[in-house]
Amino acid sequence: MQFNDTTYWLKNVRVPASLLAEVPENAERTWEDLVMVDLEVRDGAIGQIVASSQNPETGNVPGLNLRGGQLWPCFVDLHTHLDKGHVWDRSPNPDGSFNGAIETCDRDASQYWDAEDIYRRMEFGLKCSYAHGTKAIRTHLDYLGKHLPDSWEVFTTLREEWQDKILLQGVSLVLIDRFGTPEGEKLADRLAEIGGIMGGMPQMNVDLDKQLDRVFSLAMERRLDLDFHTDESGNPEAMTVRHVAAAALRHQFSGKIICGHCCSLAVQSPEEVKQTLELVREAGIAIVSLPTCNLYLQDRQPGRTPRWRGVTLLQEIKAAGIPVALASDNCRDPFYGFGDRDMLEVFTMAVRIGHLDMPYGDWPRAVTSTPLT
């Protein structure tokens, strides 16, 4: 088969039914809700999808028989840290803990991070993602004082260089109290200038609502979307996602808001969870879970088997009518010592960790179409 032909068929492929706008009539359907179809590719786009059993002869049009193999759309990786990635060989986490990850990453950044180092590692991460079928990536970029221009300049360079292969978005990563300073306002202006997303880490404190009000005001003035790291711990008192939702409602925020992690929901009472999820749904917030990294870091104590999986309430969030996505987060760095930017691996692990099978339902959308909405 000549793959440079303008029209060809991919025959006898199984596609998750949830990823099809319409399931072809009479298509064979498995108990996992995979549909057997033939797919026509015309000028680089899908021309038509028909049931394999109903497909007419394709004549001289070339075709490839995939013999029941699965075919998915490209992945969307909604939450990554390309600037941190692939430093494990030089800076491993000494004890696998969250605090160990922060301290090790800070040391690595102060010792090694410059424009050349950041570019080399970020580019390698993009190559890994592309090889594994990812088409769009959102990466958080740490605020590290003098390293900020390097990170964002590298990001904008790579965004341009990779624009024909991967759609790349950038998000700031700071403690949100920084936005209450002149330095934080300059960062917000920089994000608006380069088409970035305002992001940060809210922490439970007496000034949290005031800090969030400042973030929302800056974002609204500059028409920026928001992306927060929320409640990445097993502390049941951590409820920053609830405060984010309340702030969004106070400000009648019309932009998009993503909250990542939300681990502490899994150790809170049903009453607290219900109250939080109602606010999150009302505020129009989407949740992104990072199952591999949270499994690695959360509830880690020396000499003790973890008692919980570190992952947020995936099924309950989805049942509450809140969009929920899955993403890769960190890769071969102090926050997660494994991985290869493979979103199929992320999905597979999420299914096992969160029991997202029996039935699989529309969970395949969590790594494909849901992050795009």
For the chain, the domains span: 7-65, 75-372
- pLDDT-based confidence at 44, cuts 50/70/90? confident
Q: Which of the residues are catalytic?
A: 232
- pLDDT-based confidence at 53, cuts 50/70/90? confident
- pLDDT tens digits, one per residue of 209-263: 999 999 999 999 999 999 999 999 999 999 999 999 999 999 999 999 999 999 9
- pLDDT-based confidence at 63, cuts 50/70/90? confident
What pLDDT score was predicted for residue 146?
A: 60
E-state strands within 206-331: 226-230, 257-261, 286-289, 324-326
- pLDDT tens digits, one per residue of 260-307: 999 999 999 999 999 999 999 999 999 999 999 999 999 999 999 999
Cis peptide before 359 (omega within 30 of 0): yes
* pLDDT surpassing 80 at residue 180: yes
Give φ, ψ of 263 to 5 degrees. -60, -40
* pLDDT surpassing 50 at residue 1: no
Give the CATH H-level superfamily of domain 75-372.
Metal-dependent hydrolases (3.20.20.140)
The mean pLDDT value of the chain amounts to 94
- pTM score, whole prediction: 0.95
Rounded to the nearest angstrom, the gap between the alpha carbon of residue 124 and the centroid of all alpha carbons in its chain is 18
* pLDDT surpassing 60 at residue 344: yes
Element at 131 (helix H, strand E): helix 115-131
The share of the chain scoring above pLDDT 90, in percent, equals: 92
E-state strands within 43-162: 45-51, 63-65, 75-80, 134-142
Exposure class string for 84-97: b at 16+ Cβ within 10 A, else e: bbbbbeebbbeebb
- pLDDT tens digits, one per residue of 141-179: 998 666 555 789 999 999 999 999 999 999 999 999 999
